[in-house]
Amino acid sequence: MSSMMNALANWLVNPRRNPLARLHMHAVSSRLRKYGLRYDDLYDPYFDVEIKEALGRLPREVIDARIQRLKRAMDLSMKHQYLPEHVQAQQVPFRGYLSDMLALVKKENAEREALGALPLYQRTLP
């Protein structure tokens, strides 16, 4: 029964198989292109400590590019404008830069928990 539920859940969120997931992916993609954002830019480092840790491990130029994209998106939103069409065509909203590092951080935290150690952000100095 569990494998059947997993198969159904995978089908529901896979845009290659489910037409509704494909429509949702295109809607999100077009919305992100209008502001020049990537999907990974939407992660909030103040909401999750693992995301903050993963962002801290990325190279400085990747972080600077992320900050510039967020600033540009906020500026366009405040002006009630979108990027020009020729710039929107160059955007790749689902090219990830954070997922590999985030998976590594989650794996390290799971390993740390399995060994019985406290997470890094809960440790205190004696």
Which pair of structure tokens corresponds to residue 121?
């952000």
Closest CA to 69 of 92, 46, 99: 92
What pTM, to 2 d.p., does this model score? 0.80
Average pLDDT for 24-52: 92
Domains for the chain: give ranges and CATH numbers.
Answer: 1-112 (1.10.1090.10)
Digit-coded pLDDT (tens) for 53-99: 999 999 999 999 999 999 999 999 999 999 999 999 999 999 999 99
Give the residue carrying structure tokens 């909030």: 44
CA 46, CA 110: separation in Å to the nearest integer? 20
pLDDT for the residue 125? 53
Q: Which of 64, 44, 69, 65 is nearest to 54 (CA)?
A: 44
Question: Higher-confidence residue: 39 or 20?
Answer: 39
Position with higher pLDDT, 60 vs 8:
60
pLDDT tens sequence across 101-115: 999 999 998 998 888
